[in-house]
Structure formats: structure tokens, C-alpha cells
Amino acid sequence: MSSISDEALFDRSISSKICFPNIDSLSVKCPINDQYWSMVSNLQQVSSLSLRFTTNFSQSELQTFLNRMPHLRSLTIRQNASLPLSMSLFNCTFPSSIHYLHLEYCKHYFNEEDCIILTHSSLISQIKQLDILVKNRESIIILVNNMSNLCTLRARFTDEIIFESRPSRIRNNVDAEIILCKDEDIQWLVTHLPSTCAISRHPCCVNHLRIWIK
């Protein structure tokens, strides 16, 4: 087995003789169950990690965990909607090999202060693609201007998805209250972002922006 996607797997009673030595894709619920360490002995090959935080976590435990994945390339952070995202998470030292960061599932909308904290994290130094929920257009400017290796930014202003295939919800007919990212916001971004940036809306969601940085 090279992939473990069942976050609840280590919550169950499993024979101590079972071991997963060569995992390359892993989904883990934090805090981590004690029996995890005896079953997954080698994290050297892990390239994709999904972390779900359900309660307060131990930063030292998380750091120990991350230190064992030197070849990690993709990180997804998930959070129960009922819990606030702890920004102290980004104080950890992350593997410099991480190029893809997915924060859209943590149910937290990053404001300007959050984005400043994020861009000062070691996690950001080599990120090429970032998926994130943002509070406003200023948050996007902070991210683009402070992530030197960023190539693609996918930012959502809301979880509302509006599919073009549904005639009554086509972009041009959607209530103005639903469209948090308006045309003037896009024009504002065009004006304030470097000329090397290209901006478009996602075809299925009017509040989902895609920005490519050359």
C-alpha cells in the first residue's frame, strides 16, 4: 500500500503487526493517534500530505512529524468549520520541497493580517501554487507581492459555487449579493498587480479567481 486516505484508520484497533513502510500519499487527523508511529515507520517517500485538525494540536508533535518528510511536495490543510484556524500552525518549519499548498479546505478566510503571517512562514518560500480563501482583494496583493516563487494563485471569496450549466444561476443572472468578487474588484487587481499577472474567473464560480504569474 502506497497511499492512506482514511483519516480515521489509526483511530481503530489494528494489529501491531501491520505496518505501512512505503507510503507516498497520506491523510492524517491531528492530534495523531499513538499507534500511528508504530504502523507508519518510514515517511521518507511521502510526497502528498493532507492534515485535518479536529482539536488543538501540539506544535512540537507536528514539527516532529514534518521533519520526517523531506520530500513532501503537496500539503493540504483541513479544519473543522466549528474550530478557528490557529495561525501558530505556520510557525512550524516546513520542508523546503513543498511546492503546492491547498488551504481552501480549512474553512478560514485569510484577511490581510493573516496573509502577512502566512508569507513570513517557512512554508511559503518555495510554493508555486496556492489555493486559498480570502477576505478581500488586498489579501491577494499581499500574497502575490510576497511569494517570490508563486506561479499560480487560486483564491475564493466565498464557498458559493455557481454552475454555468444551470440557467437560473448563470453568472450574469446571479444576485449581486452573491457576487463578492465584482468586475470592479478584478479591474482593481489588474491595476495593482504586476503586469506579468493574468487574471480570470473560474468558469463555474464567479467568486473564484485564478491568477497566473509569469
**pLDDT (0 to 100) of residue 6:** 45
Residue corresponding to grid cell 450574469:
172
Write down the domain spans for the chain.
3-156, 160-214
The three cell numbers locating residue 202 = 473560474
Please report which confidence band the pLDDT of residue 198 belongs to, taking 50, 70 and 90 as the band edges: very high
Q: How far apart are the first and last CA of the chain?
A: 38
Q: 3-156 sits in which CATH class? A: alpha beta
**pLDDT (0 to 100) of residue 2:** 56
Please report which confidence band the pLDDT of residue 22 belongs to, taking 50, 70 and 90 as the band edges: confident
- Give the count of beta carbons closer than 10 Å to the beta carbon of residue 40: 21
Provide, for the chain, the percentages of residues in helix, strand and coil under a 3-state DSSP scheme, each rounded to the nearest 5. 25, 25, 50
Which has the higher per-residue pLDDT, 203 or 44? Answer: 44
Please report which confidence band the pLDDT of residue 4 belongs to, taking 50, 70 and 90 as the band edges: low
Please report which confidence band the pLDDT of residue 11 belongs to, taking 50, 70 and 90 as the band edges: low
- Of these ranges, 2-6, 18-22, 149-153, the one predicted with the greatest mean pLDDT is 149-153
pLDDT tens digit sequence for 55-111: 777 888 889 889 999 999 999 999 877 888 889 999 999 999 999 999 999 889 999
> Would the pTM count as exceeding 0.85?
no
Detail the DSSP E strand segments found in 64-188.
74-79, 100-102, 129-133, 152-156
Please report which confidence band the pLDDT of residue 40 belongs to, taking 50, 70 and 90 as the band edges: confident
pLDDT tens digit sequence for 154-180: 998 865 554 444 433 333 333 444 445
Which has the higher per-residue pLDDT, 44 or 130? Answer: 130
Work out the average pLDDT over 29-36. Answer: 74
Mean pLDDT of the chain: 80
**pLDDT (0 to 100) of residue 149:** 95
Chain-centre distance for alpha carbon 96: 16
Under the phi-then-psi rule, with left for phi > 0, alpha for psi from -120 to 50, and beta for the rest, what region is 107?
A: left
DSSP 156-185: ES-S----TTSGGG-GGGS-TTT--S-HHH
Residue 196 has pLDDT above 80, yes or no: yes
Residue 20 has pLDDT above 80, yes or no: no
